[in-house]
Chain A
Amino acid sequence: MTSTVSGLLTILTLVVILAVLHRPVGDYMAWIYTTKNNWKIERGFYRLIGVDSASEQTWRAYLRGVLIFSVVGVFFVYVIQRIQEILPYSLGFPAVPQGLAFNTAVSFVTNTNWQSYSPDVTLGYAVQLGGLVVQNFVSAAVGIAVAVALIRGLARIKSGTLGNFWVDLTRGITRLLLPGAIFAAVVLIIAGVIQNFNGFENITTLTGGSAAIPGGPVASQEAIKELGTNGGGFYNVNSAHPFENPTAWTNLFEIVLMLIIPFSLPRTFGKMVGDVRQGYAIAAVMGAIYAASLAAMTWFELNGAGTATRLAGGAMEGKEDRFGIWGSTLFATTSTSTSTGAVNSAHDSFTSLGGMMALLNMMLGEISPGGTGSGLYGMLVLAIITVFIAGLLVGRTPEYLGKKIGPREIKLASIYILITPALVLTGTALSFAIPAIRDNVEKVSIWNPGLHGFTEVLYAFTSAANNNGSAFAGITANTPWMNTALGIAMLLGRFLPMVFVLALAGSLAAQDKVPATAGTLPTHRPQFVGLLIGVSVIVTALTYFPVLALGPLAEGLK
């Protein structure tokens, strides 16, 4: 069997698994967020935290819940890092410095999981599980909650409310993420992912040298890291580490974990708005962009352009033998198309154009299929833009699922679309425009000289603003400028879009439903799928082409 046949069969397996699972998982999620029944344990929890689970919230109250919960999350993670020294299982590591602790706290609360630090030499077990694992769960649940609120906005008629944030948050954890993570963690352990509190075990190697075997509660973190599209690695090299991702089949398993919720949410959406075809149209757009991007990246890596790559005889720098090129590009495409940002290979060492595909996946706004929740609401905003553009072409007031897309809706959707590009381009530009910062960026942060170094900075801001978390990891981001600027990009890139999504949801929910007429653009047909793909790609291309031309395109087409 050749690597090509093996790679194609792997992709086919992935498609079959998602095709079989998306329906039960999607329907299950629709049930989670519509049923009136609370589990006993949930009722106890609501009583404990003082929430009336039957009460409904306006979009403003829902948003307030999201923001306050996240502020408290940042505070918790920050404090836990700052007192690491006195916590159990700190492995002797000192308190995390302020700037880094801020960056890391923001990073995990925003579902980004950007890591300015190397966990191997920075974090003990207490911070990893008490701070980071907790956020792996809750930040994913927050993302899904916001997506569900937007779905309700589309589904409800003349409603002033969108549901209850605390209930959505809780159910996402108790009924979806926690059971899923427990199952996944046990599977990973059986495959070889470690789960212990052993610390480093010193051993004598076969040749008489000394070496260490690392320990740690890795499987429990790995499971939710992928399922919640978080991506923060227990180790510096993330899922390239054999203790995080020991075999080719765990590689596929982790890819399924990353994709299962984002690819099932369109089904949930279809179910909740009472027309599953609408969900399948959205899933088709996600799938088409994902497939095209995967094909391009794999082709670039197999082709192996670049001086060092040609000399070596293949793009194996930064890739593991057990995954090969196909297993690496499948993982990289998945990780950057969702908001995961986990890596099983060094994106910095990819061919110039292969690495650019990872960048592009994020620049698309992570909608193919995107992070848990964030992918769906991002795509629905684009769908609203698309019906508007289509409406302009034929001169009609656009509508989506019976909701009129008026000036207010279009303003909210447009601002949503502009936020991340503004953050990415401003952050990158400031890094080079302010002399003092530029000097620091060039001397300290950048690892590879020349065009590739520029791409490292662009990648960092793209990853932060889109809450991805992967990196061209040669960059040294643990500097005052990078920690602060990326921290702000992560915060604004996460919560500003949520503000506009929830405002949009509120405005849609308040509307009556207009009946479809002969002039209504059907939004479940291939025509609309094509339009939506076109709008997504064109918006991204127009925004980012110039900056890509300065980095990866210039390097790759030299």
Chain B
Amino acid sequence: MNTRTLARQYWVAIRAMIVFTIVLGVAYTAVITGVGQLVAPAQSNGSVVKVDGDVVGSALIGQSFTDKKGNALPEWFQSRPSAAGDGYDATASSFSNYGPENDDLIAAVKERKAAIATENDVPASSVPADAVTASGSGLDPHISPAYALLQVDRIAAVRDLPVTKVRALVESMIQNRDAGYLGEKTVNVLRLNVALAGLKG
């Protein structure tokens, strides 16, 4: 193998990489962006949810319903715990990465369970797992139907609404499994709270 053939091979590789960068990096991305913006602009741009014309979030990105200090606002359905930034920070998606024997996680689960039980006036044993565990993305837009239903009495009391009406709202917002069998049943918290805000006693 002489140097000349080797240099020629490198020159082939460099030219190939330049073409690939233009075709696969730039052109492919541009074409997909164009098609996306044309075929499904709403999804391409983040499935935003609007109230009175103002964007209040994305249907796919969870958000927290807390005050500035991070305390749960009792008049809103609460999302799951989040490990993204200070909670639901979409500029820093993250899971907690705590292992099952991690003392910090054990303490956090205990504390969350007790807090949710107290706030909603239910026994700790009825608090579902997703309510006390941080999600995979830290941006999980959903809660389980069980966790949504558990919050109904509290919401009704704080908002002075009939329990039946709030419960009916939650039940109407339960998303069935995809195609009837894929994944789990969920409730989208932002959509639920938007609907809740429009609910009159």
Residues of chain A at the chain B interface (Cβ within 8 Å):
1, 3, 5-6, 9-10, 13, 45, 48-51, 64-65, 68-69, 71-73, 76, 118, 120-121, 129-131, 133-134, 137-138, 166, 169, 173, 178, 181-182, 185-186, 189-198, 200-201, 203-207, 209, 211-215, 217, 219-220, 223, 235-237, 240-243, 246-249, 251-252, 305-309, 311-324, 327-328, 343-346, 348-352, 355, 447-452, 472-474, 555, 558
Contact flags (1/0) for B129-141 with A, using CB distance below 8 Å?
A: 1101111111111
Q: Nearest Cβ distance between residue A89 and chain B, in whole angstroms?
A: 11
Closest to A72 in B: B13
Q: Nearest Cβ distance between residue A119 and chain B, in whole angstroms?
A: 9
On whether the beta carbons of B92 and A327 are closer than 8 Å, the reply is no
Say which residue of B37, B54, B76, B95 sits within 8 Å of A346 (CB atoms). Answer: B95
What residues of chain B lie closer than 8 Å to A312, measured between beta carbons?
Answer: 109, 113, 129, 132-133
Q: With an 8 A cutoff between CB atoms, is B179 at the interface?
A: yes
Among A73, A328, A348, max chain B CB count under 10 A is at: A348
What residues of chain B lie closer than 8 Å to A322, measured between beta carbons?
Answer: 140, 142, 183-184, 186
In the bound complex, CA of A9 to CA of B178 (Å): 12
On whether the beta carbons of A213 and B61 are closer than 8 Å, the reply is yes
On whether the beta carbons of B20 and A134 are closer than 8 Å, the reply is yes
Contact (A212, B91) CB under 8 Å given A178-B28, A206-B193, A318-B136: yes
Chain B: number of interface residues, binned into ranges: 35 or more
Q: Nearest Cβ distance between residue B79 and chain A, in whole angstroms?
A: 10
Q: Nearest Cβ distance between residue A473 and chain B, in whole angstroms?
A: 5
What residues of chain A lie closer than 8 Å to B25, measured between beta carbons?
Answer: 129-131, 133-134
What residues of chain A lie closer than 8 Å to B102, measured between beta carbons?
Answer: 308, 448-449, 452
Closest to B138 in A: A237
What residues of chain A lie closer than 8 Å to B54, measured between beta carbons?
Answer: 204
Closest to B175 in A: A322
What residues of chain B lie closer than 8 Å to A49, measured between beta carbons?
Answer: 12, 15-16, 19
On whether the beta carbons of A450 and B101 are closer than 8 Å, the reply is yes
In the bound complex, CA of A3 to CA of B109 (Å): 23
On whether the beta carbons of B97 and A323 are closer than 8 Å, the reply is no
What residues of chain B lie closer than 8 Å to A189, measured between beta carbons?
Answer: 32, 35-36, 39-40, 43-44
On whether the beta carbons of B9 and A64 are closer than 8 Å, the reply is yes
Among B28, B88, B144, max chain A CB count under 10 A is at: B28
Say which residue of B20, B57, B106 sits within 8 Å of A206 (CB atoms). Answer: B57
On whether the beta carbons of A197 and B100 are closer than 8 Å, the reply is no
On whether the beta carbons of A185 and B19 are closer than 8 Å, the reply is no
6 shortest A-B CB distances, which residue pairs?
A248-B183, A306-B100, A474-B97, A240-B136, A314-B129, A346-B95
In the bound complex, CA of A211 to CA of B66 (Å): 12
What residues of chain A lie closer than 8 Å to B97, measured between beta carbons?
Answer: 318, 346, 348-349, 447-448, 472-474
Contact (A206, B127) CB under 8 Å given A9-B181, A198-B45, A308-B102: no
Sample 19 A-B pairs with CB under 8 A, ordered by A number.
Answer: A5-B181, A49-B16, A68-B6, A189-B43, A195-B37, A206-B193, A206-B194, A207-B76, A213-B57, A242-B60, A242-B137, A249-B179, A311-B110, A316-B129, A317-B100, A324-B184, A346-B95, A449-B103, A473-B97
In the bound complex, CA of A200 to CA of B135 (Å): 22
Closest to B1 in A: A64
On whether the beta carbons of A206 and B32 are closer than 8 Å, the reply is no
Q: With an 8 A cutoff between CB atoms, is B161 at the interface?
A: no
Q: With an 8 A cutoff between CB atoms, is B46 at the interface?
A: yes
What residues of chain B lie closer than 8 Å to A346, measured between beta carbons?
Answer: 95-97, 136
Q: Nearest Cβ distance between residue B39 and chain A, in whole angstroms?
A: 7
Q: Nearest Cβ distance between residue A70 and chain B, in whole angstroms?
A: 9
What residues of chain B lie closer than 8 Å to A241, measured between beta carbons?
Answer: 93, 137, 139
In the bound complex, CA of A241 to CA of B21 (Å): 26
On whether the beta carbons of B142 and A321 are closer than 8 Å, the reply is yes
Task: Scan residues 1-34 of chain B and give those whose CB is less than 8 A from a CB of chain A.
Answer: 1, 6, 8-17, 19-21, 24-26, 28-29, 31-33
